[in-house]
Amino acid sequence: MFDKILIANRGEIALRVLRACKELGIPSVAVHSTADADAMHVRLAEESVCIGPPPARESYLNVPALLSACEITGADAVHPGYGFLSENARFAEILQEHDIQFIGPKPAHIRLMGDKIEAKRTAKRLGIPVVPGSDGPLSSDAETMSVAREIGFPVLIKAAAGGGGRGMKVAHRPEELANALAIARAESKAAFGEDAVYIEKYLARPRHIEIQVLGDGGGRVIHLGERDCSLQRRYQKVWEEGPSPALNGTARNSIGEAAAAAMQELQYLGVGTIEFLYEDGKFFFIEMNTRIQVEHPVTEMITDIDLVLEQIRVAAGGELALSQADVKFHGHAIECRINAENPVSFRASPGKIVHYHPPGGLGVRVDSAVYHGYSIPPFYDSLVGKLIVHGKTRGECLMRLKRVLDEFVIDGIETTLPLFRALVREKDVIDGDYHIHWLEEFLAGGGMKG
């Protein structure tokens, strides 16, 4: 096992990793920018190191500063959390070159799955169904039009190095294609430093289903069921639940086994999430995230498996202690991402929290690093915390969620709590009858009044 783990992140995920380290008896090092000097993970870690000023590129993305922090503290492993450097293959390689273990997949797998085109090719080779579309980057408007006519409109143009909805544009008709392609290329260049894009068939009302996998790098891989992440706004997940209300046992087992078999062939190491669109009984691979996910607590609640703890164990060279038969699913879990944003305009709302009262009770979990008097800085993402509830059934889970949302108090800043209080009372949500465009249609139709 590791002697000391440096946590190369901030906020709730840094605190989440710190807790796993403590439960394993491993000392941890918190790094922070000057803006995060009073952060909860800094207060609770055995050691802390300031790695730069507030801008992420000068602190949390500053590789030399992170290496220096490892050297100063004697950390022999780095947990990247999610975001920042968590899917940066070169960072993982640099750590290896300095005899520091990256707690995550092999750099080759990060690089492979980080290239959306290569990831799609690999999925197809491994027997995972993919969305019809181009086999590689598009070189011209003429080629794009040819592929689009072959697969049929509407089509979705996506950045090859993309994520989070950036560099994605829909063309519903042929006359919209050239403009959508130009915008997608420009957004991709600005966000990712390259303008390579590819094209896929645009599915009208699919669900977004993701499969959680865990491997030890030696060929042992299991899946831990699915999460339904279909309630989204601008391709950003808002509400996640598991198991999906749209799947039956046959579909669940089929796609889970296919995902695990593919990762077994790759000899995948660590946790990962394979994401699919699901429509008319068919699954279509869209991407794989080679890191811990924001919504991993949903899986933990329905399996009683600590994903971060297992992630650390296999990174340290341990064999996977669980077999697929050991994975038992029980009950239902829902996660709400609570952001420091106006619930109608979604404008960011940084500032000081003057009153904070998280809910409690059976089956309630709040993953957050904020506290009474804490100031949300304006430099990073707006996530305040994640509210996760569990129930024996989906109905019980929804009733519990209604109760705890009414208990949750955060004053001093605007948050998205009112959005979730509205959603949990919507018939379509209660019935589980929604798709990836449902939330935007709900908001456009005045579902949230200003």
Which are the catalytic amino acids? 291
144 Cβ contact partners less than 8 Å away, ≥ 6 residues apart = 134, 138, 157, 177, 181, 199
Residue 335 vs residues 176, 303, 365: alpha-carbon distances, Å: 37, 15, 9
| AA identity, residue 199 | I
CA distance 1 to 77: 10
Could you tell me if 159 and 229 are in contact, meaning their C-beta atoms sit under 8 angstroms apart?
no
Phi, psi of 52 (to 5 degrees): 150, 180
Is the omega angle on the peptide bond into residue 243 within 30 degrees of 0, that is, cis? yes
Residue 156 bridge partners (DSSP): 170, 200
294 Cβ contact partners less than 8 Å away, ≥ 6 residues apart = 13, 82, 237, 337, 383, 386
Residues composing the chain? 450
Q: Evaluate the CA torsion angle 267, 236, 230, 187 in order and state its sign.
A: negative
CA distance 208 to 275: 7
Three-state SS for 286-297 is EEEECCCCCCHH
